């Protein structure tokens, strides 16, 4: 997995609540057997008229050249619905390395963390401050210090992440590497489990 | 202090507690399907490792399979390649596969219970968010991503932080024509599509106790639609009677031993929950959704909310939802014309669902211009439906009985609802484009869906009952 330390970038605002994983990557694109290439279909049906790449929807933020950067900022309950990890793969493949919201759906959060996409949970108030920024405003995310800053104003907020996951992200470790390293413990557990 | 049902099971499955981090949770049963497993097998192959405990994983093909002519090769190339990848991966790694053509094939959350694989006290995962269905047996069951599928294949464990716990008590008797789908749609409409995020939910109370296992599965199935990590119901005689004699159920002395253990699986009287809700069953009427998340539901006789009357959670999204749905604030939902009826999915495709529909539509005909798809949850459900003559009743009504799969619930195969068309659906999600780009989904119970099939409009099924 790719490591994350600091991210400083402009952001793409998506002020919509309950963005579900069917919007992030519609089911018809889940037929691939690899993890690559999902970015071009990220938010497919919000991006294009009638599924036609030559007809981008003007009002949708990914089609607005004023907004760019590696941070996506969305309203609450981002990533709800289906457990499809393809949603995290699509976000990463498109070029986002962090998603900021006032809270995330549980499965999406795990999937993001398992792919080196940092979910940054901020207060509703701080989220609105971010949305109030101009298009070229930058955000700085410091994973080591667990802090997100609006660069123009200097306003900052701390965010939570458990210590284990933080170590994984800072070093690019996978959960699966860790689990394989404790296989003996798992085998012992199987012999003594009490049910 | 006493323990909750969740805690009793969770604690027995902790292999290791990571400092400052999640628990390493041992998984008893793992279900896989063709869509969320190929990349996990690729991961194993890259590492040069085999599935650690192949007998604890069971595979089926369901999400991306046709529901007509399943005996023929799959026409769509990418779908065929995905199903072939599952066959190859299972063969190489020694995993049991109930693929197309197998008498046990079906939707992963239908076949686990009906084969007796799903049992109380287990930890169960699958790369599908509706894995919460299995919680109806008093199991900790939840959906995982593909990275976690790879972890389970490699080590039979996942890493999970202990969720918060919520209990929802539903007491009293249900009204006429109110079924378990209405209960769960009602709950989600009350607490919103994110109201249980971070929590594992236990459903209890007399209204839950009175439900069959299949009805309980419908409730636990949709726990994820309010953001819950999973849902569960303490096992009781209804549970034990359901499991007994099933193909993979314990037998003889082992049955007695398991039964004694299962009877200890309930929340103690003094157990504490982080959150507790109380619902009067009598408040619930047949439900239907009008919007684009499952929390946007109302009683079928009620009016679509306005910006003034809607709850805070859905206020900002109301207009966007109604524009997509082509519906008006404050308008009645009853009488809304529909084009398609889909009765199926891991929520409502079991034999009791089909019986409910058949007993209602017997002797009736579908409305002109309405297309009705009934997609059974499994080959076994399909076989049972034929044995009971349900297939003939449905055919006489003009309903099309198809072959098992996830079908129009997510529209991965060719079963898609065309853009702009209204579909009353017994599935679990009414998200934009879920049933096909531009499709407009109204979630409801099998009974309410069947009533709409007959009248061609959203109908209060009670008006059609004697």
On whether both B332 and B264 belong to a single domain, the answer is no
CATH of the domain at B308: 3.30.499.10
Residue B60, min C-alpha distance to chain A (Å): 16
On whether both B34 and B174 belong to a single domain, the answer is no
Contacts of A180 in chain B (CB under 8 A): 47, 49, 154-155
Given CA atoms B303, B304, B309, B314 in this order, what sign does their dihedral have? positive
Please enumerate in sequence order all residues whose Cβ is within 8 A of that of B16, keeping only pairs 6 or more positions apart, or say none.
Answer: A182, A185, B23, B24
Of B160, B187, B208, the position where a domain reaches its end is B160
Contacts of B429 in chain A (CB under 8 A): 20, 22, 81-82
Nearest to B431 among A20, A77, A176 (CB): A20
Give the model's pLDDT for residue B315: 84
On whether both B175 and B126 belong to a single domain, the answer is no
Q: Within a domain: residue B76? A: yes
On whether both B198 and B78 belong to a single domain, the answer is no
The Cα–Cα gap between B100 and B109 comes to 16
B138 touching A (Cβ < 8 Å): no
pLDDT of A78-135, one tens digit each?
Answer: 999 999 999 999 999 999 999 999 999 999 999 999 999 999 999 999 999 999 999 9
Q: Within a domain: residue B417? A: yes
Q: How many contacts (CB atoms, under 8 Å) link A and B?
A: 183
> How many Cβ atoms sit within 10 Å of the Cβ of residue A58?
8
Nearest to B154 among A85, A115, A180 (CB): A180
On whether both B450 and B307 belong to a single domain, the answer is yes
CB contact under 8 A, B293 and A80: yes
Nearest to A81 among B20, B317, B429 (CB): B429
* Per-residue DSSP letter, B236: -
On whether both B66 and B13 belong to a single domain, the answer is yes
Q: Within a domain: residue B429? A: yes
On whether both B196 and B136 belong to a single domain, the answer is no
Nearest to A83 among B143, B227, B320 (CB): B143
pLDDT of A31-52, one tens digit each?
Answer: 999 999 999 999 999 999 998 9
Contacts of B431 in chain A (CB under 8 A): 20, 22-23, 81
Cα-Cα-Cα-Cα dihedral of B79, B80, B82, B83, to 10°? 120
Of B160, B175, B207, the position where a domain reaches its end is B160
Nearest to A33 among B85, B261, B412 (CB): B85
Pairing of strands B23-26, B157-160: antiparallel
The Cα–Cα gap between B106 and B61 comes to 7
Q: Within a domain: residue B239? A: no
On whether both B127 and B220 belong to a single domain, the answer is no
Give the model's pLDDT for residue B252: 96
CB contact under 8 A, B22 and A82: no
Confidence grade of residue A1 (pLDDT, cut at 50, 70, 90): confident
Residue B78, min C-alpha distance to chain A (Å): 6
pLDDT of B21-55, one tens digit each?
Answer: 899 999 999 999 999 999 999 999 999 999 999 99
Of B283, B312, B347, the position where a domain reaches its end is B283
> Which of 373-412 (B) contact A at CB < 8 A?
410-412
On whether both B59 and B146 belong to a single domain, the answer is yes
Residue A98, min C-alpha distance to chain B (Å): 18
On whether both B252 and B218 belong to a single domain, the answer is yes
User: Which chain B residue shows the shortest CA-CA distance from A82?
Assistant: B129
> Which of 245-264 (B) contact A at CB < 8 A?
261
Where b means 16+ CB within 10 Å and e means fewer, B104-137 reads: bbbbbbbbbbbbbbbbbbbbbbbbbbbbbbbbbb
Residue A135, min C-alpha distance to chain B (Å): 22
The domain tally of chain B equals: 3
Q: Within a domain: residue B456? A: yes
CB contact under 8 A, B147 and A111: yes
Q: Within a domain: residue B202? A: yes
Query: Is residue B230 classed as helix, strand or coil in its secondary structure?
Result: strand
**Nearest to A117, CA basis, from A88, A80, A145, A86:** A88
Cα-Cα-Cα-Cα dihedral of B132, B194, A79, A175, to 10°? -50
CB contact under 8 A, B410 and A27: yes
Q: Within a domain: residue B307? A: yes
Please enumerate in sequence order all residues whose Cβ is within 8 A of that of B374, keeping only pairs 6 or more positions apart, or say none.
Answer: B343, B344, B354, B357, B394, B399, B400, B401, B402
Contacts of A82 in chain B (CB under 8 A): 128-129, 410, 429
On whether both B10 and B25 belong to a single domain, the answer is yes
Give the model's pLDDT for residue B114: 98
Contacts of A33 in chain B (CB under 8 A): 38-39, 42, 81-82, 85
> Tokens representing B336?
């809304």
Confidence grade of residue B277 (pLDDT, cut at 50, 70, 90): very high
Give the model's pLDDT for residue B20: 79
B221 touching A (Cβ < 8 Å): no
Q: Which of A22, A23, A27, A128 to mutate to test the interface with B (most CBs of B within 10 A)?
A: A27
The Cα–Cα gap between B46 and B234 comes to 41
B20 touching A (Cβ < 8 Å): yes
B56 touching A (Cβ < 8 Å): no
CATH of the domain at B216: 3.40.1060.10
The Cα–Cα gap between A74 and A61 comes to 11
The Cα–Cα gap between A191 and B14 comes to 13
CB contact under 8 A, A45 and B129: no
pLDDT of B126-170, one tens digit each?
Answer: 999 999 999 999 999 999 999 999 999 999 999 999 999 999 999
- What domain range is B73 assigned to? 5-160
On whether both B418 and B362 belong to a single domain, the answer is yes
CB contact under 8 A, A83 and B36: yes
**Nearest to A111, CA basis, from B129, B21, B73:** B129
pLDDT of A51-64, one tens digit each?
Answer: 899 999 999 999 99
Contacts of A187 in chain B (CB under 8 A): none
A181 in Cβ contact with B16 (< 8 Å): no
B193-197, B312-316, B419-423, range with the lowest pLDDT: B312-316
Q: At what angle are helices B446-455 and B351-361 packed, to 10 degrees?
A: 30
CB contact under 8 A, B159 and A178: yes
Q: At what angle are helices A106-113 and A163-171 packed, to 10 degrees?
A: 40
Q: Within a domain: residue B141? A: yes
Is the pTM value of this prediction over 0.90? yes
User: Which chain A residue shows the shortest CA-CA distance from B150?
Assistant: A176
**Nearest to B93, CA basis, from B45, B132, B144:** B45
Nearest to A182 among B16, B146, B429 (CB): B16
Give the model's pLDDT for residue A151: 98
CB contact under 8 A, A195 and B429: no
**Nearest to B201, CA basis, from B182, B221, B186, B181:** B221
Give the model's pLDDT for residue A2: 83
| Across A6-12, average pLDDT | 97
């Amino acid at each position: 997995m790719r490591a994350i330390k600091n991210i400083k970038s402009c952001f793409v605002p998506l002020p919509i609540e309950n963005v579900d994983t069917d919007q992030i990557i519609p089911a018809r694109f889940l037929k691939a057997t690899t993890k690559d290439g999902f970015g071009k279909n990220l938010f497919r049906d919000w991006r294009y008229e009638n599924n036609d790449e030559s007809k981008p929807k003007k009002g949708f933020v990914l089609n607005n050249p004023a907004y760019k950067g590696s941070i996506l900022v969305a309203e609450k309950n981002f990533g709800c619905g289906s457990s499809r990890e393809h949603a995290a793969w699509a976000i990463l493949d498109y070029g986002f390395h962090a998603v900021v919201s006032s809270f995330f759906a549980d499965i999406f959060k795990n999937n993001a963390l398992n792919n080196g996409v940092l979910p940054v949970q901020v207060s509703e108030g701080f989220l609105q401050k971010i949305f109030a920024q101009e298009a070229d405003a930058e955000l700085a995310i410091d994973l080591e210090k667990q802090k997100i800053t609006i660069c123009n104003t200097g306003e900052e907020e701390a965010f939570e992440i458990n210590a284990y996951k933080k170590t994984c992200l800072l070093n690019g470790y996978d959960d699966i590497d860790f689990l394989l390293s404790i296989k003996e413990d798992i085998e012992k557990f199987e012999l003594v489990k009490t049910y | 202090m006493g323990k909750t049902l969740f805690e009793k099971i969770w604690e027995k499955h902790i292999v290791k507690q990571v400092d400052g981090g999640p628990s390493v949770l041992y998984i008893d049963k793992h279900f896989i399907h063709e869509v969320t497993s190929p990349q996990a097998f690729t991961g194993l192959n890259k590492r040069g490792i085999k599935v650690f405990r192949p007998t604890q994983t069971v595979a089926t093909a369901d999400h991306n399979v046709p529901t007509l002519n399943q005996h023929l090769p799959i026409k769509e190339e990418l779908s065929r390649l995905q199903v072939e990848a599952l066959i190859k991966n299972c063969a190489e790694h020694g995993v049991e596969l109930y693929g197309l053509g197998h008498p046990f094939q079906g939707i992963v959350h239908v076949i686990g219970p009906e084969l007796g694989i799903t049992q109380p006290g287990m930890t169960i995962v699958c790369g599908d968010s509706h894995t919460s269905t299995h919680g109806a047996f008093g199991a900790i069951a939840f959906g995982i991503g593909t990275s976690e599928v790879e972890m389970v294949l490699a080590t039979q464990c996942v890493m999970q932080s202990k969720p918060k716990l919520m209990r929802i008590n539903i007491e009293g008797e249900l009204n006429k024509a109110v079924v378990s789908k209405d209960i769960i749609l009602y709950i989600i409409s009350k607490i919103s599509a994110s109201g249980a995020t971070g929590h594992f939910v236990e459903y209890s109370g007399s209204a839950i106790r009175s439900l069959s296992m299949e009805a309980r599965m419908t409730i636990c199935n949709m726990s994820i639609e309010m953001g819950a990590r999973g849902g569960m119901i303490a096992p009781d005689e209804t549970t034990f009677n359901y499991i007994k004699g099933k193909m993979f159920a314990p037998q003889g002395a082992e049955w007695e031993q398991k039964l004694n253990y299962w009877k200890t699986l309930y929340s103690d009287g003094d157990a504490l929950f982080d959150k507790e809700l109380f619902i009067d069953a009598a408040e619930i009427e047949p439900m239907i959704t009008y919007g684009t998340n499952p929390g946007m539901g109302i009683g079928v006789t009620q009016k679509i909310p306005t910006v003034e009357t809607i709850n805070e959670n859905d206020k900002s999204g109301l207009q966007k939802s109604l524009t997509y749905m082509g519906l008006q604030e404050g308008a009645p939902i009853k009488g809304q014309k529909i084009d398609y009826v889909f009765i199926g999915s891991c929520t409502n495709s079991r034999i009791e669902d089909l019986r409910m529909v058949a007993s209602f539509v017997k002797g009736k005909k579908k409305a002109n211009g309405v297309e009705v798809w009934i997609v059974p949850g499994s080959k076994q459900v399909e076989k049972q439906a034929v044995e009971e003559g349900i297939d003939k009743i449905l055919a006489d009504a003009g309903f099309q009985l198809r072959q098992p799969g996830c079908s129009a619930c997510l529209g991965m195969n060719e079963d898609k609802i065309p853009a702009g068309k209204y579909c009353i659906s017994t599935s679990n999600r009414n998200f934009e484009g879920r049933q096909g780009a531009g499709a407009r989904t109204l979630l409801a119970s099998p009974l309410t869906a069947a009533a709409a099939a007959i009248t061609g409009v959203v109908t209060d099924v009670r008006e059609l009952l004697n």
